[in-house]
């Protein structure tokens, strides 16, 4: 661990200074991408991998460990503010929470692949990447345990709200026993907003709790016609009522708990707004393990204050890192975790292997496998 961490963190200033003084290649499409580091015949070619920013540190640490025996792969992590200047020197970029707009992408003269350490790529200008001949990819959540980890976090947040986690701590401090009275999942109706890999893993784990599951999906045909019999049977066994997005308001009223598992895009941004929350049953709970931008912040505050929203459990925020002094944390019925739903030892080790294998394939000029290319 010590040696691999040293490779990532040591001499960052010196490394950055070196990067910024290297000549930029203007004709990327006319030069074999993996030969750009070889100045003489027989010199070892280096494939350079950039992790953007210090957050989610296990991503670059575990990937570095996985690739440490391959001297022709160089893994760096740079502060977000240094990425625009340094990006011309890299072949692969792992964005994490970085926003890669068209301006930054236009500077990525050697870039061949932009990836997310997970599934969300809403911060990448995919059209600009396509224009510059750069592939954009995500790691499929079901193959790495990421979706299972997120499903577990959703249940944790549900139980935390039902069992009044914050009030329990107050009771301990006040030396009280047997209070407050809490709730159980048994008999509850759960509305899963977005029935993808995470939604399916969540429904599977909820069954033993004795709940009713409603789920919404843009197209259920993709499940019923899926070549895997397991997926088709899971949908039939795990969902009591299937809902299309356009009908969701009708079914929101039936739910005791709503869990948001949607991808963030132009159509879903702010989907949990004033109208949505107003349509919820009074006292119902809201859980979000997807993206903070799916929720209208002011609408959530308004309905927490009025008591219409019974509680909020969220692993994601509108702005991250989240402000610990934000007013939303004053509510006893709000539980927030620091974007760690998918951050488990198993999922991060598996995703490190997926990233490392793809980098090795890219270096060798082989077809890229184990990822989902979106352009």
- Tens digit of each residue's pLDDT (9 = 90 or more) over 95-149: 998 999 999 999 999 999 999 998 888 899 999 999 999 999 999 888 888 999 9
**Distances 57 to 96, 122, 263 between C-alpha atoms, Å:** 10, 20, 23
Tens-place pLDDT, residues 296-317: 999 999 999 999 999 999 999 9
Nearest in space to 157 (alpha carbons), one of 178, 194, 189, 185? 185
Backbone angles phi, psi at 326, to 5 degrees: -60, 145
Look at the block and give the residue holding tokens 């005791």: 256
Nearest in space to 228 (alpha carbons), one of 200, 266, 188, 192? 200
Pick from 8-22, 45-59, 80-94, 115-129: least confident: 8-22
Pick from 7-11, 76-80, 97-101, 367-371: least confident: 7-11
pLDDT of residue 40: 44
Tens-place pLDDT, residues 210-249: 999 999 998 777 665 444 444 545 777 899 999 888 889 9
The two structure tokens encoding residue 353:
């292997």
**Distances 199 to 147, 235, 258, 315, 326 between C-alpha atoms, Å:** 8, 10, 12, 15, 29
Nearest in space to 90 (alpha carbons), one of 55, 127, 58, 47? 47
Domains (range + CATH), the chain: 47-144+345-373 (3.40.50.720), 146-220+235-336 (3.40.50.720)
Cα–Cα distance measured from residue 153 to residue 335, given in angstroms and rounded to the nearest whole number: 12
pLDDT of residue 193: 96
């Amino acid at each position: 661990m010590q040696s691999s961490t040293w490779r990532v963190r040591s001499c960052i200033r010196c490394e950055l200074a070196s990067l910024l003084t290297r000549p930029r290649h203007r004709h990327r499409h006319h030069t074999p991408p993996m030969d750009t580091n070889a100045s003489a015949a027989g010199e070892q070619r280096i494939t350079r991998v950039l992790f953007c920013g210090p957050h989610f540190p296990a991503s670059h640490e575990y990937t570095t460990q996985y690739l440490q025996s391959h001297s022709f792969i160089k893994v760096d992590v740079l502060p977000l503010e240094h990425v625009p200047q340094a990006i011309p020197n890299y072949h692969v970029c792992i964005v994490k929470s970085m926003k890669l707009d068209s301006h930054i992408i236009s500077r990525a003269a050697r870039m061949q692949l932009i990836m997310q350490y997970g599934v969300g790529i809403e911060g990448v200008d995919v059209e600009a990447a396509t224009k510059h001949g750069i592939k954009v990819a995500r790691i499929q959540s079901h193959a790495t345990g990421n979706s299972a980890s997120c499903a577990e976090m959703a249940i944790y947040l549900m139980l935390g709200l039902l069992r009044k986690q914050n009030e329990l701590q107050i009771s301990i401090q006040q030396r009280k026993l047997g209070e407050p009275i809490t709730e159980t999942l048994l008999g509850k109706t759960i509305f899963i907003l977005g029935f993808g890999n995470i939604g399916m893993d969540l429904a599977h784990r909820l069954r033993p709790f004795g709940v009713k599951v409603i789920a919404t999906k843009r197209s259920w045909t993709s499940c019923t016609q899926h070549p895997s019999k397991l997926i088709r049977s899971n949908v039939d066994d795990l969902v009591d009522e299937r809902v299309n997005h356009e009908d969701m308001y009708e079914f929101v009223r039936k739910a005791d708990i709503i869990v948001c598992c949607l991808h963030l895009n132009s159509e879903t941004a702010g989907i949990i707004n004033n109208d949505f929350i107003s349509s919820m049953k009074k006292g119902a709970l809201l859980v979000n393990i997807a993206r903070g931008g799916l929720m209208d912040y002011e609408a959530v505050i308004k309905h927490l204050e009025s008591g219409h929203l019974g509680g909020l459990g969220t692993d994601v925020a509108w702005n991250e890192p989240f402000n610990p002094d934000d007013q939303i944390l004053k509510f006893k019925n709000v539980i927030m975790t620091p974007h760690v739903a998918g951050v488990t030892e198993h999922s991060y080790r598996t995703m490190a292997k997926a990233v490392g294998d793809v980098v090795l394939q890219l270096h060798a000029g082989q077809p890229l496998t184990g990822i989902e290319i979106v352009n």
